[in-house]
Amino acid sequence: MAPKYQGVDFYDIDGLLNEEERAVRDTVRAWVDDHLMPVIGEAYIAGKFPKQLVPGMAELGLFGANLPEEYGCAGLNNVAYGLIMQELERGDSGVRSFASVQGALVMYPIYAFGSEEQKKKWLPQMASGKVIGCFGLTEPDYGSNPAGMITVAKETKDGWVLNGAKMWITNGSTAQVAVVWAKTAKDADSIRGFVVPTDAKGFSAKDQKGKLSLRASDTSELVLQDVHVPKDAVLPASGGLKSPLMCLTAARYGIAWGAVGAAMACYDEAVSYAKTRVMFGKPIGGFQLQQLRLAEMLSEITKAQLLCLQLGRLKDAGKSTPQQVSLAKRNNVSMATDIAREARRLLGANGILVEYQSMRHLANLESVYTYEGTHDIHTLILGQEITGLSAFN
């Protein structure tokens, strides 16, 4: 039997975590070992989200784990929440994406912008995994520029009528409820969020086929054609582009942690391979080129771990900024993609097989690099933060 995954902790970062944070991390790590790792390769090849894992994830309390207990959530701090994302993505970015969407993109906006009735109705059901959610912001022609969206919501006597299309929607075809963002007038300030049951008349979701990345995750196109929803479907406290961007900041925070998990998985695999694979009469880990690879990986992972932890502490203190989250998402996903690629290369021909993880992580991370604010967009956000000059307009 292969030795149990022990994580990567070169700087005793464990010593900076409290007992609950470590316990949460250990629970999720053990669950990933026992339930996710045995099925992920097959799910990836089959191009299917391993749906059978949802009840187990819900039972552990992984969905919306940083939201309050009164809504059926675990009420964890943001560092513990980040560690959950790290451990899930150690398994697979697609499974982490599922949890990110459920928690940060659907439960969070209902919690942050919803009425008390909406919170009571949806959050406990979503925490228990009985209801799956998706988040409709991105459109076919409006990815990095969501302000230009063309989906509209028109107020009628008894509610709203929604028209438009959304694309690249994780969980789209599995969800029972969608948080859809639409303009209620012409400008971006009129954007509001709507809680739309996916069985509403005129709502359809179609899986996007042919993905070479995030294959163990459902990605769909949503079409809304004269979808009628009642008055209370609108998230009352949502208003303007700022609202969906707040959701993205919440999700990006989890992604910054998740990417570290993927990088740790690749590094762990690379180290173990380098120590056991013999070439020219000695383990390849004894060659300088591979040692350079491993040393670079460990350095980047250690830096990213510390970055996440401090970002989490700032978030718990209510002091983190969206720009700080941008820096972490940009840095960590980029470093994780590089590490996955180098690990893949270190593994030689074996590295292209699904029984090893690195190439799966590499392919996944190419999506993570692009979604939730592309690497380039985060560069411009930081550029604006540094210079005070916007490169967008």
Residues making contact with another protein (CB under 8 A): 3-4, 6, 12, 19-20, 23-24, 27, 30-31, 59-62, 65, 69, 74-76, 80, 84
Question: Least distance from C-beta 74 to another protein, angstroms?
Answer: 4
CB of 83 or CB of 233, closer to another protein: 83
CB of 62 or CB of 195, closer to another protein: 62
77 alpha carbon, distance to own chain's centre: 17
Question: Least distance from C-beta 267 to another protein, angstroms?
Answer: 17
Beta-sheet pairing, 278-279 with 282-283: antiparallel
Structure tokens at 121: 């109705």
Question: Least distance from C-beta 142 to another protein, angstroms?
Answer: 36
Q: Could you confirm whether 372 is annotated as catalytic?
A: yes
Question: Least distance from C-beta 175 to another protein, angstroms?
Answer: 23
Q: Strand ranges (DSSP E) for 143-183?
A: 152-155, 159-170, 177-183
CB of 20 or CB of 117, closer to another protein: 20
Question: Least distance from C-beta 254 to another protein, angstroms?
Answer: 15
Q: How far is Cα 167 from Cα 79, in angstroms, rounded to an integer?
A: 31
CB of 67 or CB of 311, closer to another protein: 67
Question: Least distance from C-beta 96 to another protein, angstroms?
Answer: 16
Q: Strand ranges (DSSP E) for the chain?
A: 133-136, 152-155, 159-170, 177-183, 191-197, 203-207, 219-230, 278-279, 282-283
Tally Cβ neighbours within 10 Å of residue 157.
Answer: 5
CB 176 within 8 A of CB 133: yes
Cα angle 56, 84, 32 (rounded to 5 degrees) comes to 50
Angle between helices 375-387 and 322-346 (to 10 degrees): 140
Residue among 107, 32, 36 nearest 67 (CA):
107
- Burial profile 131-155: b = 16 or more Cβ within 10 angstroms, e = fewer: bbbbbbbbbeebbeebeebebbbee
| Torsion over CA: 184, 188, 190, 196 (sign) | positive
CB 238 within 8 A of CB 109: yes
CB of 75 or CB of 202, closer to another protein: 75
Angle between helices 37-46 and 358-370 (to 10 degrees): 70
Considering the candidates 139, 221, 269, 372, report the single residue annotated as catalytic.
Answer: 372
Q: How far is Cα 84 from Cα 346, in angstroms, rounded to an integer?
A: 28
CB of 28 or CB of 214, closer to another protein: 28
Question: Least distance from C-beta 55 to another protein, angstroms?
Answer: 12
CB of 84 or CB of 134, closer to another protein: 84
Supply the residues annotated as catalytic.
372
